[in-house]
Chain A
Amino acid sequence: MASPRGQACIAGIGHTEYTRAKVPTGTNLTLELRAARAAIDDAGLRAGEIDGILPFFGIDLAEEIAVHLGIADLRFQMTSHLGGAAPGASIAVAALAVANGIANHVLVPGGWWGYAGRRVREVVVQDVSAMSGGANARDFYFPYGLTAPVQWFSMIARLHMETFGTRPEHLGAVAVACRAHAQRNPHALLRGKPITIDDYLASPMISDPYRLLDCSLEADGAAAFIVTSAERARDLRARAVPILGFAQGQPFPADDIVTRDDPFELGVTHATARAFEMAEVRHADVDFAEIYDPFTFQVIQQLEEMGFCERGEGGAFVDGGRIAPGGELPVNTHGGLLSEAHVLGMNHFVEAVRQLRGEAGERQVAGARIGVVTGFGDFGDGSVVVLGSGA
């Protein structure tokens, strides 16, 4: 059987404005439809030509999206339950579908009123059992006041600091680098608000060692992609970005963060080699990486687990500007969830496509040909997608 490498492309991207609104003006569906329409236009398609939809878990159903887009013959739908790793997993499924003739043009939408509407912390408190591993959190974490992702993941950051000597300044280097990237991105919510490491260290402690500036930026917004076969993409308007490799992975156990034999293991620990092998790339080939960044340390952890550096060396790796604008491995060139907006990691793909089309304006990574996008969901599920420039 032929490798899926390059058989499918991202042929269109779209997104709404990212905001932190006082009240929602519409529903999640409103945002997703705006992003979907923009992506369909970007691809040069008519809405009725979309025949597959992979909606985001717990937000909207394919049926609702299809009826609003006038898709009378929806041939393919399903939903990944990998949380923040779902965009990458969905793009992979879409790629398999279009490469095998199951669908022609698959829409992958995702978005929310993540600031103006129900905040993640509220959703988790109200019904944690809806998430993977949520029953364990409810029965064994919550009674001790360990009730939020910022608290769960700060414990892993603490363990890394205790084990390897990782310092607050290393976590801060991620925050500062993402903010520096955001200064060059007109869509970033925190453009115009640069920070220094001193600003980082002075920001209030939320869940030690996590400060406010370690946390991603809850936001309102949606993004969407159109995945199309390489063959069909040739006839479309936008410059298609080939999907070279993809994989998903899970830590073991996936549903409990504190009892893993290897406490630093993540989904990307397993997924990266699989995705890179499919894509036929090595780490040195990667021109930029969009790393799912719920909190700063999870960027360091993923870079280690992906093999960009040895475990324990991630703090030093991100120090000194390596991941900042103009660095050896620019990370989160849009500003990431930390400084552009938390749009479920969908915005990481929007940015990767812009970089690989050469449309990233003043933040363009010169000569970008290979980009990697990760997803990180629930208690560490992972997805890795390798995209190419098609040039």
Chain B
Amino acid sequence: MTSAAKPVPLLRHLSGEFYAHCRSHELRFQRCTQCRSWRHVPRQTCARCGAWDWEWARSSGHGTVFTWTVVRRPMHPAFASAAPYAPCVIEMEEGVRVVSEVVDCAPADLRKGLAVEVVFDDVTPELTLPKFRRASGGRRPS
């Protein structure tokens, strides 16, 4: 049996722009230029104020673990040999949440509120995934 390819995002439209910044090792989220609210997942207009205008604003890269699961029996063939692994939801300082993983933390050591900072995983020449590691304590832009 050949191993299945891992699923990749559709690198087009707004998600394509999000991942293009990740390829440059910059974590950026949409920010409304009118009401200044941050948002993720990417949207065409601001749900708070209705504005069409937004910028890709740079995140501090810092956040905390919000919730997670530990996958013991994978449901996708590409992850069949990866278990156990722990997809996490990270709540960023800016208030948005993203699905990711904490690369240097065993699943059993995950805790709500664990401080993490972004790192970038160059999966292929086309795709870089933002991931996280335990925060070192310093503060620098991502």
Q: What's the count of A-B pairs with C-beta under 8 Å? A: 108
Contact partner of B85 (CB less than 8 A), chosen from A138, A139, A145, A210, is A145
Query: Do A144 and B99 touch (CB < 8 A)?
Result: yes
CB distance from B72 to the nearest CB of A (A): 4
Report Cα–Cα, A92/B87, bound state, in Å. 38
- Interface status of A205 (Cβ within 8 A of chain B): yes
Asked if B73 and A146 sit within 8 Å, CB to CB, the answer is no
B contact residues around A143 at 8 Å (CB) = 6-9, 123, 127, 129
Interface string of A224-260 (1 = CB under 8 A from B): 0000000000000000000000000000010010110
Residues of A within 8 A of B68 (CB): 155, 158
CB of A242 to closest CB in B, whole Å: 39
Using CB atoms, name the residue of chain A closest to B66: A159
Chain B contact patch, size range: 35 or more
Within 8 A of B (CB), among A234-293: 253, 256, 258-259, 263
A139–B87 CB distance below 8 A: no
In the complex, are the beta carbons of B9 and A144 less than 8 A apart? no
Cα–Cα distance between A145 and B85 once the two chains are bound (Å): 8
Judged by DSSP, the binding face of B is: loop
Within residues 3 to 22 of chain A, which ones have a CB less than 8 A from any CB in chain B?
none
**CB-nearest residue of chain B relative to A133?**
B41
In angstroms, Cα B69 to Cα A141, docked, is 12
Looking at the assembled complex, report how far the CB atom of B16 sits from the nearest CB atom of chain A, in whole angstroms: 9
Give chain B's interface residues, CB within 8 Å of chain A.
6-10, 15, 40-41, 47, 66-79, 82, 85, 87, 89, 96-101, 107, 112, 123, 127, 129
Interface residues of A (CB under 8 A from B): 121, 124-125, 135-136, 138-148, 150-151, 154-156, 158-159, 162, 204-210, 253, 256, 258-259, 263
Closest 6 CB pairs of A and B: A148-B75, A208-B70, A139-B9, A142-B7, A146-B87, A147-B76
